[in-house]
Amino acid sequence: MGTVLAHLISADSDLELAGGIGRGTLDAAREVLRSADVVIDFSAPTLLSTLLDEHRDSLAGRAVVVGTTGLDATVLDALATLATLSPVLCSANFSVGVNLLAALVEQAARVLGDEYDAEIVETHHRRKTDAPSGTALELGRAIARGLGTDLEQVRRDGRAGHTAERPRGEIGLHAVRGGDVVGEHRVLLLGERERIELGHVATDRALFAEGALRAARWLAGRDPGSYTMQQVLGLP
């Protein structure tokens, strides 16, 4: 993603790349961070955690766009703290289509209610290390919002063995890994006499980089706080 972002920035006359930070350059990140208006992170949870711990002062006042997934409560708390100093936007997926899908899924769940069983199936390349994907979890949270419940109280990650009857209101999450799949997400809302399927297929990672740059343009110069991709796109 860093390579794709660098390519897109170099092709845009309105943007300038201040520099890049990798696993071996975190110690020297201070000058790069302080020369930037926006910091975009597509790294790994451990690297992002180190960046937030060691360079919070340098990040203060800069817009921060985070696309790293698999974040634990500690990193999320650190981002919330940074949001008191900087505008911060953290998204599991920067695709315009995926964010629109989440809005549609929430609306569908609100209309259909828990009489329709909700299942999410996501597929990614074999190298992805977190499961379910951050996008699948965000879609699950969208369904939960529509149902007026908390995803963590009703989620079910996969099934095996004698699972008994599926309880009403459960949200199923299923992860498939293999090949070079960029990202596929399918939401099934299954009723007694009909089913609704909503989905999204990504075929090029540049899609996510383009969305991150769109978010960066929108976020730059805003007041400190936590923002969402839905706000960038003007979605309810």
Query: How many domains are contained in the chain?
Result: 2
Q: Which CATH number belongs to the domain containing residue 52 in this structure?
A: 3.40.50.720
pTM of the complete model: 0.84
**pLDDT tens digit sequence for 191-216:** 999 999 999 999 998 999 999 999 99
Q: Which of 124, 174, 185, 200 is catalytic?
A: 124
What CATH number did the domain enclosing 189 receive? Answer: 3.30.360.10
Please compute the mean of the pLDDT values over residues 163-167 and round it to a whole number.
92
12-29 average pLDDT score: 87
What is the band of 221 on the pLDDT scale with cuts at 50, 70, 90? very high
SS (H, E, C) the chain: CHHHHHHHHHCCCCCCCCCCCCCCCHHHHHHHHHCCCEEEECCCHHHHHHHHHHCHHHHCCCEEEECCCCCCHHHHHHHHHHCCCCEEEECCCCCHHHHHHHHHHHHHHHHHHHHCEEEEEEEECCCCCCCCCHHHHHHHHHHHHHHCCCHHHHEEECCCCCCCCCCCCCEEEEEEECCCCCEEEEEEEECCCCEEEEEEEECCCHHHHHHHHHHHHHHCCCCCEEECHHHHHCCC
For residue 25, pLDDT over 90 is answered with no
Q: 128 catalytic, yes or no?
A: yes
The model's confidence at residue 7, banded by pLDDT at 50, 70 and 90, is: very high
The answer to whether 124 is a known catalytic residue is yes
For position 140, what pLDDT does the model report? 98
Strand order in the sheet with 63-66: 38-41, 63-66, 87-90, 225-227
**Residues 15 and 71 grouped into a single domain:** yes
Exactly one of 7, 55, 125, 128 is catalytic; name it: 128
Same domain, 196 and 138: yes
223 shares a domain with 180: no
Task: Looking at the structure, tell me whether residues 7 and 67 fall in a common domain.
Answer: yes
For position 26, what pLDDT does the model report?
81
- Both 185 and 140 in a single domain? yes
Range of the domain at 122: 96-202
